Structure 1
Amino acid sequence: MSDMRIGGLASGIDTDSIIRDLMEAERMPLNKMEQEKTKLEWQRDEYRDVNKTFLELDNLALDMKLDRTYQSKEASSSNSAVSAKASSSAGEGRYSLEVTQLASAAYNYSEGSITGGNDEFDPDASLDSQRGFFANGLDESDFEIKTYGKDGEKSHVFSIDSSDSLNDVLKEINDSQIGVRAFYDKNADKVMIERDETGNYNSVGKEIDFGGGPNFLTSTLGLSGEEKGGRDAKFTYNDSGFEITSHDNNYSVNGVDFTLHEVGKSTVNVTNNVDGAVEKITDFVNKYNDIIESLGDKLNERKNRDYPPLTEQQKEAMEEDEIEKWEEQARKGLLQGDSVLSGSLAQMRTSWYSKVESGGEFNILSQIGIETSSNYRDRGKLEIDEEKLRNALSEDASSVKSLFANDGEGEEKGIVRRLEDIIGSTRTSIERKAGKETSTNQSFSLGRELVNVDQRMLSFESKLTQIEDRYWSEFGAMEKAIQEMNSQSAYIQQNFSAGMM
């Protein structure tokens, strides 16, 4: 608890106000340090925002190096019999498929009603309690199910516990991971078991094998009839008479994934998806133009020296909207003339204009419809002639990709790879100056300046405490002297008055 200071009792002087005014003057250097700290923090944040923008461009650059950006394919089908999806490696052209058979999953169901249609049968009650309802009796012998699929042969042996219900037994079958689903339909009064994958994997027998002798499945549930389904898909390819079989209704040829939906003939056309390529290139150029404009504004924005950063004390005397408007002016010009950023912009512009000796048909951007704006106020922004770009992509998408993404050295390096190098170097320089969110202040230059300002502020605050103590001591001494003079004056006055009597 600090000592209460009361001055002016002897002199009548407002000591507190005088010392407060004196300390206001003494605090001026500290206020400037606080403003300096605020400005450094603003600068740090501005640099980090610039780095985030560069990172966005760098992320878009990843797409600009992929084949699928320039050579993505589009597949269209003549009817609903077949649908298709083309990868970037798909060969352009016409594909003809005639589907003669669709793949199907094997299934089997009870030959007849397992209870004779008795409505009182409860599939959730114990088998023992429902024993009298089964038309063929309750066979409690163990049974085995074998299945055949892409993972080979699987089997599982099941035991009948009469305390279990029919649905318990079917659930155990479903949970056995042998690739089948089983369920009881009360309306039909039958049980169905089906494979969870299509195709014929057992060429010499059934896809779902219930074993040779009578058991719960074949006797009680009547699953002894002929198996249905379990067929492979069949289709002829490109009118060649060459028949292809597939265990499922999906098949890939030459980078095209076909999905068979129904029996019939269908024609699939695969073409280069120019729209997708134009969109990706346009997005990248637009992001670059945004950076050019944003950084250009920051580099050319003049400082407003009439609006220094506000101190906390000054903010206390202002309204929120006043603070906002003031700081809008005070933040201007934080990156004015920055050499790292201006150098980066110059290098990026050069990268766009330079030739790329990749061996492709195109070696400069203007050949594919991308040129610099003729308006000097655009500061080197790029403009796209979409028709020319589309023609270039249709004519030779591979050469367009090489112009942007060729992996080489010197003049052989594609534009995007050159930009990546510049972005990487710039982001590293910015991080050395402004760090990133996870950086400690000692690891970057602006952070070290902030540490220095904090130390100076702490030292100066200690000095202010000493100055304030000195002022109170001096005014206290003055008050004491005045009090003594007042006491002496009163004493003399008292003696003088006594001598006159």
Structure 2
Amino acid sequence: MAVVMRITGLSSGMDIDKLVSDLMKAERIPVDKLKQKKDLISYQMELYREINTKVSAFRDVMSDLRYSSRMTGMKATSSSTNVTVAPTQVTSPSTHTLKVTQLADYAKASSASGITNFGLTGTKNVEGTTITQGVNDKIAIKLDNTVKVITLTPGDNYTASDLQAELQKQVDKAFGTGQLNVGLNGQGQLTFDPQAGTNGFKPQVSTYEIATGALANLGFSDGQSYRLNLTLSLDDLQQQNKFAAGLSSTGGILTVTNGGNSVTIDYSGTDSLQTIMSKVNASAAGVTMSYDSVNDKFTFTSKQTGASQQVQLDDSGGLLNALQIASGTNVYGMDAQGELDLVAFSSSTNVYAKDGITYTLNKASATDTITVTVASDPDSIVDNVKKFITAYNDLIDLINKRLSETRTQGYSPLTDDQKAAMSDDDIKLWEAKVKIGLLHNSSILRDAKNSLRSLLNKTVDGVSSQFNSLMSVGITTKAFTGVYVAEDQGKIELDEDKLRSAIAADPNAVNKLFTSNTGIDSQEGIFVGMYNKANSILSSLVKEAGRVNGSESDTTTTLGKQIYDLSASILDMNDKLSAKEDYYYKRFSAMEEAISKSNSTLSWLSSQFG
């Protein structure tokens, strides 16, 4: 792009910069209008996202309350923490005895003992080692989750003990004294030994290459570690002798079976333990393979509990032997067992449900008899209904406010020049005025409000006619007080005595009124319907204005696409304005040159007649 010389008015005496600036103000009016239009849309998006946040909060409340277990009007208590109880449907007050003799468990096959040869020892006698700056003076060491670059002091023909001392000095500088001990064995080989924690557990230590040959110069290899390194290949682990039981073969077929699901996993020397674990866990066997670094054991675990779970392991190579699990291992899960009211029961999980009560089994005891008491709890329903009313009214309050606001005359988005002349506080006050009324009579908000209000008058089929509507249990629209308040229109209130009477008369009907979820619209409970409506409203809001904290120029949303298009137009117009400004300076520059020439001519003529 050509550089335009911007000559000031030396010849004409005119303030060229001021003239161009004034001319450009007029030229910038169209782009200022585009920016103001973009700001208005941005403010609209902000206001819609504010509604989005409130709807999300309402949906969260409804998500919790829509289940029948939250509206039973009953409470259950256990005499022991060994069992947790909860009524999941309306039932009568009662007392039960429970004994848990066995918990359900997974089928598990684990290493017989720790599988790793712990230690990090070099393979080279380091006597006479030379460290050259910029060549082999840097290595990386990872201690637990911290990686540090270790730089050794250059020197020729280090003795083994001097190199040990130098490495210890640099390691202490990087990690702190006493965290990682550098040793020297009888063969002149360097060793690393991490400091154990208070629980006796020694963290992982690994070495990594930075400068080619630096690790090998000290006798170590890239990825070599003190503990088992799950990301190293089986070949590397075998070469480093990391398996206490040895690894006779790095290739083979591992067969993992759980019940009728059986998968075969081919592995070779280039595979890592992490890769093999991932293959097992992603397979259809229904088995999880995991490594316990504290106890240094591998475990194959069924993904579900119960006696029907069976884990069988077979291996044609040396992997299972290295993991200290016998090929042909076959283990089963267990069912939970016990007595409820002196009647034996079993369950494939540690959750057992009977007669509207769910028992969560936490601990087994052959001698402990637990007493479970189920009693009426109308307060729980009343409290939950109050949560609904508060959340509903909060949402309606904001929707009403935005729908009823009207634009304030004389307030438009500020231009850049206007903002430059105002304080930050004044800008905020002005922008707050501009936002007022931007959602006035919004069709999205009107539809949202109407869809929620329609549920307030719904009659739920399949519920006793005496209690099949909100009005019948004491939930009604607020009465008009004689003073019109826009924000209060459509809010609801509770006649608590009427609700309590309904609960006492027919708690099952009250439960179904709120939580019935048969999949048939006419039988859908009020709280279930409110949850679904909230989801629908959120979808509309996201489609219009995007998600909270989402990109402002998200072209998949209605307002985001408008902002994106306006931004593109503004960029295009700014390019044109820049060219226009250059044009003005060119014209004034030409004028200045003409005046300068004229002044020179007049000066010459004057000198001739002087």
TM range (shorter): 0.5 to 0.7
> Match for residue 431 of structure 1?
542
2:463 maps to 1:463:
no
**2:385 maps to amino acid:** I
Equivalent residue runs for 1:19-418 within 5 Å: 19-71=20-72, 73-75=74-76, 85-89=85-89, 91-95=91-95, 237=341, 254=355, 255=357, 257=359, 269-360=373-464, 361-375=466-480, 377=485, 378-406=488-516, 407=518, 409=520, 411-418=522-529
Q: Which has the higher helix share?
A: 1
Equivalent-residue separation in structure 1 for 2:11 and 2:406 (angstroms) = 56
Q: For 1:157-210, what per-residue CA distance to the aligned partner results, in whole angstroms no more than 9, with x for missing partners?
A: 99xxxxxxxxxxxxxxx9999xxxxxxxxxxxxxxxxxxxxxxxxxxxxxxxxx
CA deviation vs aligned residue, 1:397-450 (integer Å, no higher than 9, x gap):
221132223335454333334434543443333233223326963212212211
Distance in 2 of aligned mates of 1:338 and 1:94? 53
**Given that residues 81 and 261 in structure 1 are in contact (C-alpha distance below 8 angstroms), is that contact kept between their aligned partners in structure 2?**
no
Deviation at 1:339, TM superposition (A): 1.3
Could you tell me how far apart the structure 2 residues matched to 1:443 and 1:80 are? 54
> How big is each residue's C-alpha offset from its partner over 1:79-120, in whole Å with a ceiling of 9 and x where there is no partner?
899987343248433426599xx989xxxxxxxxxxxxxxxx
Structure 2 vs 1, CA of residues 486 and 314 (structure 1 numbering), >3 Å: closer, same or farther? same
Question: What secondary structure is seen at the aligned counterpart in 2 of 1:442?
Answer: coil
Secondary structure of 2:375 counterpart:
strand
Q: 1:333 to 1:474 in 2, by over 3 A?
A: same
Q: Which amino acid aligns with 1:485?
A: S
For the aligned residue pairs, the C-alpha RMSD in angstroms reads: 4.2
Contact 2:73 2:507 in 1 (8 A): no
Shift of residue 12 of structure 1? 1.0
Deviation for aligned residue 1:314? 3.0
- Looking at structure 1, the residues matched to 560 and 371 of structure 2 have their Cα atoms a distance apart, in angstroms, of 65
Displacement of 1:262: 12
Counterpart CA distance in 2 for 1:427 and 1:243 is 49
Which residue does the alignment assign to 1:451?
564
Contact 2:98–2:369 under 8 Å retained in 1: yes
Structure 1: runs of 5+ lacking an equivalent? 105-148, 159-173, 178-232
**Inter-partner Cα distance in structure 1 for 2:470 and 2:44:** 36
Structure 2 CA distance for partners of 1:491 and 1:359, relative to 1, 3 Å: same
The aligned residue for residue 209 of structure 1 is none
Structure 1, 351-360 or 87-96: larger mean CA deviation: 87-96
Q: Is the 8 A contact 1:94 1:270 kept in 2?
A: yes
CA deviation after TM superposition for structure 1 residue 464, in Å: 1.1
Q: What SS is found at the alignment partner of 1:95?
A: strand
Q: Which amino acid aligns with 1:27?
A: R
In structure 2, distance between residues paired with 1:417 and 1:310: 45
How many angstroms does 1:488 deviate by?
2.2
Instruction: Quote the Cα distance in structure 1 between the aligned partners of 2:444 and 2:71.
Output: 33
Matched residue SS, 1:443: coil
Residues in 1 aligned to 2:560 and 2:609: alpha-carbon distance in whole angstroms: 73
Q: How far apart, in 2, do the equivalents of 1:381 and 1:272 lie?
A: 30
* Counterpart-to-counterpart distance in 2, 1:51 and 1:27: 36
Contact 1:94–1:267 (Cα < 8 Å) also in 2: no
Paired AA for residue 369 in structure 1:
G
- 1:466 CA displacement: 2.2
Q: Which residue of 1 aligns with 2:594?
A: 481
2:116 maps to none
Please tell me whether the aligned partners of residues 545 and 559 of structure 2 are also in contact (alpha carbons under 8 angstroms). Answer: yes
1:317-374 per-residue CA deviation (whole Å, 9 max, x = no partner) reads 3222222222221221121110121122123212201322223241221111111100
Q: Which residue identity is paired with 2:95?
A: Y
1:53 Cα deviation from its structure 2 partner: 2.1
> Structure 2 stretches of 5 or more lacking a match?
114-294, 299-336
Larger radius of gyration between Structure 1 and Structure 2: 1
Report the Cα offset of residue 380 of structure 1. 1.2
* Partner SS, residue 95 of structure 2: strand
One-letter amino acid of the structure 2 residue matched with residue 67 of structure 1: S
The count of corresponding residues between Structure 1 and Structure 2 is 378
Please state whether the residue corresponding to 2:88 is helix, strand or coil: coil
TM-score computed with the length of structure 1 as normaliser? 0.64
Query: Matched residues, percent identical?
Result: 29
2:313 maps to which residue? Answer: none
SS of match in other structure, 1:325? helix
Q: 1:82 to 1:322 in 2, by over 3 A?
A: closer
Question: Which residue identity is paired with 1:458?
Answer: L
Q: Match for 2:93: what amino acid?
A: G
